[in-house]
Amino acid sequence: MSETWEPTGAGVMRLPSGRYVRGRGLRKPAPAGPDPELGVYLLGRPAPETAWESRWVRWPDFRLPADRGSAEAALREAWERAERERVEIACGGGVGRTGTALACLAVLDGVPAGRAVAYVREHYNRRAVETPWQRRYVARFPEGRGAPAR
């Protein structure tokens, strides 16, 4: 069985269920420690090759995912696997798109959609979720209607 992230690791955020997810910016060196077992990369062009399993979500900087259905599927998979595996969510800078995705994971984890951005700003990065449309995306996640508590 795999182990999840070290709670005090760089960029590691604890969800209310106890799952840990690491957020980071790909323009910076990878933090010290073990590699992720799943990486979800939110980029406008294909993600670089990794030694671990990864998903690329086409998501241009300061925008929203190009295909919201595939973004939701990748985020649901990340949330499910974070219960027992090291999952990393990353974009170029690790703030806007990564923060938005982490807020969506918080919604999947039972945080009310209207509180998810504040949750990620408190527990990951105070500048997370940079644009009004990213905040609106979280408020309407998943599938534009907000998530039921899980």
pLDDT in tens, 37-60: 999 999 999 998 999 999 999 999
Residues 74 and 69: their CA atoms lie apart, in Å, by: 9
Q: What is the pLDDT of residues 44-102, one digit of tens each?
A: 999 989 999 999 999 999 899 999 999 999 999 999 999 999 999 999 999 999 999 99
Binned at pLDDT 50, 70 and 90, residue 10 comes out as very high
- Domains of the chain are 12-139 (3.90.190.10)
Asked if residues 75 and 81 have their Cβ atoms less than 8 Å apart, the reply is no
Closest CA to 108 of 93, 121, 120: 120
Q: What is the pLDDT of residues 95-139, one digit of tens each?
A: 999 999 999 999 999 999 999 999 999 999 999 999 999 999 999
Task: Using the predicted structure, report yes or no on whether residue 146 has a pLDDT greater than 90.
Answer: no
Write down the pTM of the prediction: 0.93
Asked if residues 80 and 71 have their Cβ atoms less than 8 Å apart, the reply is no
Residues 13 and 1: their CA atoms lie apart, in Å, by: 21
Asked if residues 98 and 27 have their Cβ atoms less than 8 Å apart, the reply is no
